[in-house]
A and B are shown apart, each in its own frame.
Chain A
């Protein structure tokens, strides 16, 4: 006497991705079930529910010392490498994270040879899929839980110096910066990547394109920001996130630093201001998600003692966004045990914030108890290159595989590269 297929489905939908991939081998019925879109959706919904109550996975991008197997570093002169590591954090544990082991994500070449932190950026995540920016112009989607990777096709946008139309302008375009965002479009029911590029010179150009997983291709999107002298972009904008159908980036606008948003469904850009008048000088803000809302965490550019951080939450009144309410002040943190904290990374629970601390450590700070727990993740180099995202383990497929072919890395390591990561368009 066998249990029904519904029961089998109920059991399987609670299993971790690794087990499910292995059990595709059990029989063809199980394999077809595991691959079916309705099962994938059911599994995802179970995972999302579990992550809000019991446990969550964190993906870190960090630079570490390379394990030296031989001393042959004459070629690059580098003794560091940039890795993606994942950590599974359980809500219930009140003890230290001493027993936790971070798993280094095995990535296909050439991703396993990335040296500089600025060569790899996490550019959004949704439903267990992470979008990665590698070197310049390469976008890789990846689901770490099922070890799937996919290099997206090349951009469909013509750079000004590729396009004869712009030659009459007679201006030498110095550089462009590229921004990416990734999320789910609930209207079109598809995963989308948005890329926009801004060209800097005496005139500013703003071009954008969207990739959909369903079509596996890019198409340009019209925006009112074309030809507008609007943005001077910072190459360091790691402060970005996807939330409820909209992607947000922190950028420089003509009024200073503000937030640019892109609605994945309507494909429209918008600008949201940051309440700088209420934030102390010498402070910067990071975007994040807190208690199911978009939040800004303001922190000093240079750590000061005693340390304190403010959390602002965006007010959502229908379609009108842009006003913020200060919800919480963390600190002042006093206590010998608390290390110098540089920057917040991500909230993995509403009262636990991952932060980068001095000496290259990553800690989890508990807002209520005001205590710190160390994570088995460390980094070298500048703290602002370290990223962390809280993701859910899903089996959503991106129609990828375990190989990557055709990543373009020649431009970056050549003489065209500028130190801060911007590409000189030649």
Chain B
């Protein structure tokens, strides 16, 4: 299997198996444009993110070999949940957010969907303020407008599950 070399923003080099590299639409485009012997530069990707991406595909291959199921075809169920529980446990919210951006940039569809699911789990019990912080969203309501929403949906702001 042909190996594709990539270099991340912090100068680290990785050798990816060709079929893994082709999962990234961005890398695939580069490969089509340039020679496969050249190193592909990924200035927007950090090495820790690349490690995580490789980890994902290694795990997928492991599970596929073990269960004999094509990962892409079996998206629901315990198969996916068990995998996801492991994948993001050492990632902070901000890490996950960065990884999400990177995977979107690289155009890796299958991992993107998983990360969106993980991000949704992280986000669902957040307060409005921590949500704004995480997504870097600018607060653009007037105090009156915000107060009105908080009053109309007061029940949505209460509950033991909402993180402080």
Contact = CB atoms under 8 A, between A and B. Distances in A.
B132 A27 contact: yes
A1 B153 contact: no
A13 to B, nearest CB: 8
B140 interface: yes
Contact of A54 (B76, B116, B153, B156): B76
A26 B139 CA distance: 7
A2 B146 contact: no
A11 B119 contact: yes
A250 B150 CA distance: 44
A7 B76 contact: no
A18 interface: yes
Nearest to A31: B149
Contacts of B104: 3-4, 7
Contact of B101 (A3, A11, A18, A19): A3
A417 B34 CA distance: 84
Contacts of A223: none
A16 interface: yes
A30 B137 contact: yes
B150 A25 contact: yes
A154 interface: no
B101 A22 contact: no
A167 interface: no
B33 interface: no
Interface in A1-57: 1-4, 7-8, 10-12, 14-16, 18-19, 21-31, 53-54
A44 to B, nearest CB: 16
A23 B132 CA distance: 9
Contacts of B48: none
A26 B159 contact: no
B138 interface: yes
A147 interface: yes
A75 interface: no
Given A16-B124, A28-B141, A8 B135 contact: yes
Contacts of B112: 7, 10
Contacts of B8: none
A22 B128 contact: yes
A14 B155 contact: no
B52 interface: no
Interface string A400-422: 00100000000000000000000
B131 interface: yes
A11 B116 contact: yes
B117 interface: yes
For chain A, give the interface size range: 20 to 34
B135 A25 contact: no
Contacts of B131: 23, 26
A340 B116 CA distance: 46
A360 B75 CA distance: 39
Contacts of B156: 18-19, 21-22
Contacts of B81: 92
B141 A7 contact: no
B77 A53 contact: yes
B24 to A, nearest CB: 16
Contact of A19 (B124, B137, B139, B155): B124
A16 B100 CA distance: 21
Counting chain A CB atoms within 10 Å of each CB, the highest count among B97, B116, B117 belongs to B116
A17 B24 CA distance: 33
A25 B124 contact: no
Contacts of A16: 124
B71 to A, nearest CB: 16
Given A16-B124, A27-B132, A106-B155, A7 B137 contact: no
A22 B153 contact: yes
Given A10-B116, A28-B141, A18 B76 contact: no
A23 B77 CA distance: 28
Given A14-B116, A106-B155, A7 B146 contact: no
Contacts of A14: 116-117, 120
Contact of B159 (A18, A28, A30): A18
Given A2-B135, A15-B120, A23-B128, A28 B140 contact: yes
Contacts of A24: 149, 153
Contact of A26 (B78, B120, B124, B132): B132
Interface in B16-61: none
5 contacts: A10-B116, A18-B155, A19-B124, A21-B156, A27-B137
Nearest 3 interchain pairs by C-beta: A14-B120, A21-B156, A22-B156
Interface of B: 76-78, 81, 97, 100-101, 104, 112-113, 116-117, 119-120, 123-126, 128, 131-132, 135-141, 146, 149-150, 152-153, 155-157, 159
